[in-house]
Amino acid sequence: MACGESFIKEDIKESVIYSDELAKADAAERNVPPRPQEIKAEINERGAFIRQPNRFTTPFGDNEGDLKAESGRYHLFWAKGCHWSNRASITRELLGLEDAISISIVDHTGESNTYGWGFTDQPNRTDAVTGLKFLTEAYLKADPDYKGRATVPALVDKETLKVVNNDYHRLTNYLEVNFREFQSPDAPDIYPKDLRGEIDRLNDWLFPNINNAHYRMAFCQSLVAYNEAYDDFFSAMDKLDKRLENNRFLFGDYVTDSDIRFFVTLARWDSYYYKNLGPQQKRMVDHKNIWAYARDLYEIPAFKNNTYFKDFSRVPSKPGIFKSYNERFVDQIDFEGLWSAPQDRKKLSRTPDEKFLRHPKGETIEEYKTVINPSRWNIPGAEV
């Protein structure tokens, strides 16, 4: 689903009603302003959607001013419907960082989500770890003059309750490299040192052509901008389908950071994203190699455990006789059965029973570390 849209949590949809009136009262109590609207604040003169830049991009590292990786200090906020943050939740579990980085799942506040991310399913609508009622509070603690949307993923310092990093372009890379010493002993290497440059380049290409392409289509206000995003997406899908014809994963035999980024968009395309768009050239499942590849990834527990199909596919009921496909059928769709259907992707691998590259014995933390290059999409003025 679009990160800016409303959804109903599957397990609380009947028991909790977080009204706009209640959200307004909570916001007044915490001095939280309404969130900016993408279709007003992030549309350029051509009618194209230009995503707001990430505000908190201080890297983790060893240089002066860098953030320092510490176990137990940081709290990760993510949302089931938001693929930008889903990447971090998958990576956290895949690397065994559950004890090092605590986590909360945010929801939309009120029926219209006027105040952005909050905690619908928590007692008194308050996060149990930080005491926040709105994610915006942590943004304003870090920058009282911040005027943008409070987005996820957001990594918050539990000592100061300030957001320290919301850089979805590079946050998973910091978890992979800078938090290496806190990972489980058998954690895979999904950001191999000798491939980091290639992975970064592919990731920076995936951003406009795959990950942000849906939002470019869903939020744009001109047909020209829509067609540009549409063509970029389906051209990219064809290229990636071809790439996966002879490669089990995007970089061959082993899962990398890039596969996580591709997967989170694929998981949402046919289940939810399609409803905000016009006629589609192909469904995701019509790409033979991509569909089997996506199911191969879904077999991995960290991917499956962090993918909530029915939560992000559910839409609120609206009056009238015409109901959307999802509104009518979401409870009848066997997402687990569809995504667990057999596939034979392992035949493409030299290590068919091993999906991950493992760290060599004796490798030190310092040997594994490198400086994480900034994403070009964090440069002010960068546009698709």
Specify the CATH number for the domain of residue 211: 1.20.1050.10
Q: Cα separation of 166 and 338, whole Å? A: 33
213 with 80, same domain: the answer is: no
- 380 assigned to some structural domain: no
- Which residue range forms the structural domain that includes residue 238? 193-368
By percentage, how much of the chain surpasses pLDDT 90?
A: 88
| Distance in angstroms (rounded) separating the CA atoms of residues 61 and 179 | 10
Residue 106's pLDDT is: 98
Specify the amino acid at residue 167.
D
Q: What's the pLDDT tens digit per position in 35-90?
A: 999 999 999 999 999 999 999 999 999 999 999 999 999 999 999 999 999 999 99
Residue 242 shares a structural domain with residue 122: no
pLDDT band at 1; cut points 50, 70, 90: very low
Residue 300 shares a structural domain with residue 157: no
Q: Is residue 181 located within the same domain as residue 221?
A: no
Q: Report how many domains make up the chain.
A: 2
Contact 161, 141 (CB under 8 A): yes
| pLDDT per residue as tens digits for the range 262-290 | 999 999 999 999 988 989 999 999 999 99
Asked which of 134, 153, 185 is the last residue of a domain, the reply is 185
Q: What is the DSSP string of 131-185?
A: --SBHHHHHHHH-TT--S---SSEEEETTTTEEEE--TTTHHHHHHHTTGGGS-T
85/163 same-domain check: yes
In the β-sheet with 74-78, what is the strand arrangement from edge to edge? Answer: 101-105, 74-78, 154-157, 162-165
Q: Is 267 in contact with 211 (CB distance < 8 Å)?
A: no
Residues 155/166, Cβ–Cβ less than 8 Å: yes
pLDDT of residue 318: 78
Last residue of a domain, one of 137, 157, 185: 185
The token pair at 158 is: 């539990």
Residue 380: the pLDDT is: 66
Residue at 25 is within a domain? yes
Average pLDDT over residues 145-150: 97
CATH number at residue 132: 3.40.30.10
